[in-house]
Structure 1
Amino acid sequence: MKYLLSSLCLCILLSSCQLSNRNVTGEDNKELAALLDNYYEERLQFYPIEATINGDERYNDRLLIDFTDEHRSRLRSFYKNQLTYLTRFDRENLNANDQLSYDVLKRELEVNIEALGFKDNYMPLNQFSSTHLVFMQMGSGQVYQPFKTVQDYDNWLKRASVFPAYIDSAIVYFKKGMGSGYVLPKILVERMIPQFRSVITDTAAASLFYGPVNLMPVSFDIGEKKRLSGAFNTLIVEQLTPAFRRMANFLQNEYLPVARSSTGIAAIPDGEKYYRFLVKQQTTTAFTPDEIYETGLSEVKRIRAEMEKTKDAVGFKGDLKSFFAYINTDKKFTPYKTPAEIIEAFQSIQQLIQPNLEKLFGKTPKTGFEIRQTEAFRAASASAEYQQGTADGSRPGVFYVPILDATTFNITSGMQSLFLHEAIPGHHYQISLQQENTKLPKFRRFGGNNAYIEGWALYCESLGNELGLYKDPYQYIGALGDEMHRAIRLVVDVGMHAKGMTREEAIQYMMENEQISEAGAIAEIERYMAIPGQALGYKIGALKIRALRTKYEQQLGTKFKVNAFHDAVLKDGALPLEVLEKKMDLWSTKQ
């Protein structure tokens, strides 16, 4: 009840703020600051895993069952109360920074309230972005969840003890979906089943979740080591392994037979309306699915023409499809023998761009950075990704590279552009600088919008020439392939979820227009099936940032400084695109 009491106190505090928030000095509004801090603190209690990921260890022992109707009802009330408090402020009487916070929070609250009107909680888990996968990462002792002190170990034991109830509740909600038409596509269920079976072991010591015991600090008292080892053994054997087995058996025996054969989200009740909402949520624009689809077709055509030029420039005789087959199969493009060689190749990219970064950025992050191979238990269904560090520097940002077979890792797969996107200056710069900026209210320091975050990272791929990359035409074709990949997403995501495109048609369209294996295309398309709309943010966001840069280059002429532009884009955190444009237009008038 703590958050309800603090909300009541804040309500009393703000009861007269409409009369008192007139800002004649330009200073930050203290009452608004109190609301923003209160919002962030209360919200974390609904999202304890998010707090752990952000480096806030106060809730490391909590795991809420966040898809139940009861939980969502409490969350809806929380958002509505916060929106009531916020709209008592007169936005026009706030300074520029407070106006940004007002605009960001108002949109966030309104969108979150709307989201809770759909029954997506009847499909509580999927194969790509799901609590069970995060839980497995945390329980391995390698990611997010700290295991440095005895208290850390006890926190995990308490958090993990809730997971069997999480699984059992997920089964209940999957069954609700089964009874009302809210079910996942069959193929996604088939992908989930081996994920759950992969951590079922005969002994606790063989379990992924025994990792923290193997990593136990030598400084622990022998008695504590014995107690914790015994507790982990009991947790794994009596709670976690049976829970994972229950879900695997349920999915195999009960859910899979009734899962849907259709591809898109439009097939569920209110699916078309839900997808339109997801487009708005994920792009932070007013674009319609049809507008995004047409943009995708146009971008595919433009990038394909550039690919044709590059193919001709290297002297290849044949069509683009043959060229893709050539670079996918010729042994000279797969020179690696071990995962370590691939990691070293990415490290060399980092060294190559380092001298040029200061030309493009005035401010760089303090947070540490590492490149790691993706853990084996999730590599088969994982994409290369960035996992953020902590604002206090205790955990570095990590660029993860899934490597199933080093001998098949292709150097033309866009290694340079991938690094610019997932690592530096993409996600690592944007997220780290945002978290390190203590002048931002915490909900902005540790929050974000998909279109900005992924749009920025994709925009960074276009900086390759300025950073000294893409000199090799085969690396450039890889960069074009990555850009094409994001353009294709606009077509296939809308196509599957709003235009009746099947999974098989989407896979075929992807393979016809980019250098990707069939296995790679299948994994990508199934990702878009699992999280509709999310893949749209990349290209929409990148197009907006590039358009803003072009506009200011033309308007400002010699006054335009690219490092100042980049610093300004990153300065205020991950804003909705419509808010970003208004902010940057104001910035341009002051140059």
Structure 2
Amino acid sequence: MKNLLIALSCLAVMSCSKQPESAPTPQAQSMGNLLESYYEDYLILNPLEATQIDDKRYNNILLNDISEAHRSKVASFCKQYQDSLQNYDRAALSTQDQLSYDILQFELALKTDLLKYPENLMPVQQFWGMTLTMPQLGSGKSYVTFKTVDDYEDFLGRIDGFTVWMDTAIVNMRKGLARGTTFPKILMERVLPQAKAMMVSDVKQSVFWGPIADMPATIGEKEKGELTTAYTDAIKTKIVPAYTKLYNFLKDEYIPKTRTTSGVGEIPNGKEYYQLMIKQYTTTELSPDSIFNLGKAEVARITREMEAVKEQVSFKGDLKAFFAYVNNDKKFMPYKTAQEVIDAYKAIETKIEPNLKKMFNMVPRSKFEVRQTEKFREASASAEYNLGSPDGVRPGIFYVPVPDPKTYNNAGMETLFLHEAIPGHHYQCMLQLENTELPRFRRTLGYSAYGEGWALYTESLGKELGLYTDPIQYFGHLGDEMHRAIRLVVDVGMHVKGWTREEAIKYMMENEPIAEQGAIAEIERYMAIPGQALSYKIGQLKISELRVRAEKELGDKFDLGLFHDEVLKYGNLPLSILDTRIKQWIEERKKV
């Protein structure tokens, strides 16, 4: 197994001197070195992210990232690079380097602030986290590949790291119980069946057996036998005992004592922590009250638009009845085969192509495909976009689950395509990944408010792109927008204003066409990851606001294609930094 020394490199910052315009200044060269050094050290502290970008150097490592030792290393890492940034004259840097400076400063400050709160005392919940990530990785169906003997041996190292992580999680959760820093009881009850599913008596029934069952023929018989024995032992003596220990701890000790309230505001310093979650997920300094009021206003506005569509199609009945009509009437389920559904999405791409060329100058080099979601995961999957590769070998893929084509509702297809595919996630993600002018750390950097905000903003381009001519398709768009607006209300409602889980579920069901089980899953997701659900609508509203500002201030000089270029060309940005950049661009355009 590989040995890894975590050594945070020090960078000597060069002094700035003037150079010819065509040559990078010493400060620019030094800034590039700093950003590269930062990213290398960042990957050491985040080996799973290294694996995601096909950097195999740390493939055998799963860090105990909830330990105090790890948190101390992160603190030192942040301090080192914060100190390094102080050696630069930001004003002397290029626009691109200024953005890198601002992003890195934002990132380091956020990481430092997060360390002030004991997130590591709440390491397990039902929506995401290591207890769910490891089975995904170990199945062989995620971004961890199992093609060579080294791949298999590397993952055995990660299983060893996982057992340490699980032991630490239980110790930390005991500390959390003593301090009142816990997740709600209902969420922990949801974890029990997840853990139970990993407690198999037959190793071949374990999700971690998948790579053994699908072992490549290129691996020799001797190595195959050795790996089969090693994985049998790892599942029996490490994976199953780790989940069994967690299950028993949760059932017998944790769940009986954990809190029954819904919001994170109920834990010590919870409201201050929630404000930091707002900053993390919206990349703004908005207050909970302002977000709550904004959500209420958006819900009211979208409701009025929904009522107008109902009147336009002469539907007799209230809005709830119209929801039921759109969801259940067979006229909105015209398909007989899955291929017909896929072809309908391809037709949307063809329909918008002429107008896309007028609205976007920058388009990805990578190819794009619409595919049906694989059968093995189709029943529980949602429509999603999967990144292509920057070398063009793997296309960007819009996956569409069609378990039963005869019940596939087409009412929201146009808005879904714009969001998940073109010009939503495919344009934004691939332009960022392909942009070699960005330093490496920015090509894969993601802020939910920007990425999801952009995708939601592109839904609003439907009419300009020649879509939403059918009122029902526009209603589908309004339904998706309503869902994101409701999130602003219920998220703040639970985490700051004392709303119960049940009150949040009721509010959601009263304002959008969603079944009770769907509403429960959504609300419990928001309970598990405070603030994340705010990012979509906040991001969309910010980008829309910036467009309106540019149109107003530039008048005849406004060009929508150039505006979109400016939003996309720098990659994923915190909204506060995007706001500053677009203001600068407006002033630059005024001088043209």
Pick which of 476-485 and 54-63 moved more.
54-63
SS at structure 2 position matched to 1:574: coil
1:25 positional shift: 4.0
How many angstroms apart in 2 are the aligned matches of 1:263 and 1:404?
34
Structure 2 vs 1, CA of residues 409 and 501 (structure 1 numbering), >3 Å: closer, same or farther?
A: farther
SS at structure 1 position matched to 2:385: strand
Query: Structure 1 length normalisation: TM-score?
Result: 0.91
How many angstroms apart in 1 are the aligned matches of 2:191 and 2:404?
22
Structure 2 vs 1, CA of residues 528 and 401 (structure 1 numbering), >3 Å: closer, same or farther?
A: farther
How many angstroms apart in 2 are the aligned matches of 1:471 and 1:355?
16
Structure 2 vs 1, CA of residues 356 and 277 (structure 1 numbering), >3 Å: closer, same or farther?
A: same
Report the counterpart of residue 359 of structure 2 in structure 1: 360
1:127 positional shift: 1.3
1:480 positional shift: 0.3
Structure 2 vs 1, CA of residues 24 and 286 (structure 1 numbering), >3 Å: closer, same or farther?
A: farther
Alignment of 1:256-335 (within 5 A): 256-334=255-333
Amino acid corresponding to residue 321 of structure 1 in structure 2: K
Cα deviation code 1:256-307 (max 9, x no counterpart): 2122110110011100110111112221222111111111111111111110
Pick which of 313-322 and 22-31 moved more.
22-31
Report the counterpart of residue 540 of structure 2 in structure 1: 542
Alignment coverage as a number of residue pairs = 583
SS at structure 2 position matched to 1:111: helix
How many angstroms apart in 2 are the aligned matches of 1:83 and 1:145?
32
How many angstroms apart in 1 are the aligned matches of 2:318 and 2:265?
36
Report if the CA contact (8 A) 2:8-2:77 is conserved.
no
Amino acid corresponding to residue 572 of structure 1 in structure 2: Y
Instruction: From 426, 429, 432, give the equivalent of 1:428.
Output: 426
2:532 counterpart of 1:530: no
Report the counterpart of residue 580 of structure 1 in structure 2: 578
Report if the CA contact (8 A) 1:373-1:400 is conserved.
yes
Report the counterpart of residue 373 of structure 2 in structure 1: 373
Structure 2 vs 1, CA of residues 408 and 73 (structure 1 numbering), >3 Å: closer, same or farther?
A: farther
Report the counterpart of residue 118 of structure 1 in structure 2: 117
Report the counterpart of residue 476 of structure 1 in structure 2: 474
2:4 counterpart of 1:20: no
How many angstroms apart in 2 are the aligned matches of 1:389 and 1:564?
25
Report the counterpart of residue 514 of structure 1 in structure 2: 512
Which sections of structure 1, spanning at least 5 residues, go unmatched?
Answer: none
2:445 counterpart of 1:447: yes
Amino acid corresponding to residue 189 of structure 2 in structure 1: E
1:374 positional shift: 7.5
Report if the CA contact (8 A) 1:336-1:407 is conserved.
yes
Report if the CA contact (8 A) 1:21-1:90 is conserved.
no
Structure 2 vs 1, CA of residues 106 and 129 (structure 1 numbering), >3 Å: closer, same or farther?
A: same
1:253 positional shift: 2.5
Report the counterpart of residue 496 of structure 1 in structure 2: 494
Cα deviation code 1:184-235 (max 9, x no counterpart): 1122112222222233333222222222223322222232222223322222
2:39 counterpart of 1:40: yes
Report if the CA contact (8 A) 2:452-2:535 is conserved.
yes
How many angstroms apart in 2 are the aligned matches of 1:544 and 1:325?
32
How many angstroms apart in 1 are the aligned matches of 2:252 and 2:403?
29
Query: Structure 2 length normalisation: TM-score?
Result: 0.91
SS at structure 2 position matched to 1:141: coil
Report the counterpart of residue 562 of structure 1 in structure 2: 560
1:367 positional shift: 3.8
2:203 counterpart of 1:204: yes
Amino acid corresponding to residue 65 of structure 2 in structure 1: D
Alignment of 1:88-107 (within 5 A): 88-107=87-106
Report if the CA contact (8 A) 1:60-1:156 is conserved.
yes
How many angstroms apart in 2 are the aligned matches of 1:58 and 1:349?
42
How many angstroms apart in 1 are the aligned matches of 2:503 and 2:341?
33
SS at structure 1 position matched to 2:532: coil
How many angstroms apart in 2 are the aligned matches of 1:362 and 1:92?
29
Cα deviation code 1:108-160 (max 9, x no counterpart): 11111001100111110221121222222222212211223332222222223
Structure 2 vs 1, CA of residues 429 and 120 (structure 1 numbering), >3 Å: closer, same or farther?
A: same
Report if the CA contact (8 A) 1:54-1:390 is conserved.
no
SS at structure 2 position matched to 1:189: helix
Amino acid corresponding to residue 245 of structure 1 in structure 2: T
Pick which of 285-294 and 251-260 moved more.
251-260
Amino acid corresponding to residue 531 of structure 2 in structure 1: G
1:459 positional shift: 0.5
How many angstroms apart in 2 are the aligned matches of 1:343 and 1:580?
35
Alignment of 1:450-461 (within 5 A): 450-461=448-459
Amino acid corresponding to residue 323 of structure 2 in structure 1: F
Structure 2 vs 1, CA of residues 356 and 224 (structure 1 numbering), >3 Å: closer, same or farther?
A: farther
Pick which of 302-311 and 330-339 moved more.
330-339
Report the counterpart of residue 418 of structure 1 in structure 2: 416
1:339 positional shift: 6.7
How many angstroms apart in 2 are the aligned matches of 1:406 and 1:62?
43
Cα deviation code 1:433-475 (max 9, x no counterpart): 1111111111211112221111111101112223333232222
Pick which of 528-537 and 403-412 moved more.
403-412
Instruction: From 6, 9, 15, give the equivalent of 1:7.
Output: 9
Structure 2 vs 1, CA of residues 173 and 402 (structure 1 numbering), >3 Å: closer, same or farther?
A: farther
Amino acid corresponding to residue 73 of structure 1 in structure 2: S
SS at structure 2 position matched to 1:259: coil
How many angstroms apart in 2 are the aligned matches of 1:209 and 1:496?
37
Pick which of 275-284 and 156-165 moved more.
156-165
Structure 2 vs 1, CA of residues 583 and 201 (structure 1 numbering), >3 Å: closer, same or farther?
A: same
Report if the CA contact (8 A) 1:198-1:377 is conserved.
no
Structure 2 vs 1, CA of residues 341 and 172 (structure 1 numbering), >3 Å: closer, same or farther?
A: farther
> Could you tell me the percent identity over the aligned residues?
50
Pick which of 251-260 and 182-191 moved more.
251-260
Report the counterpart of residue 222 of structure 1 in structure 2: 221
Q: Cα RMSD between the aligned structures?
A: 2.6
How many angstroms apart in 2 are the aligned matches of 1:404 and 1:121?
39
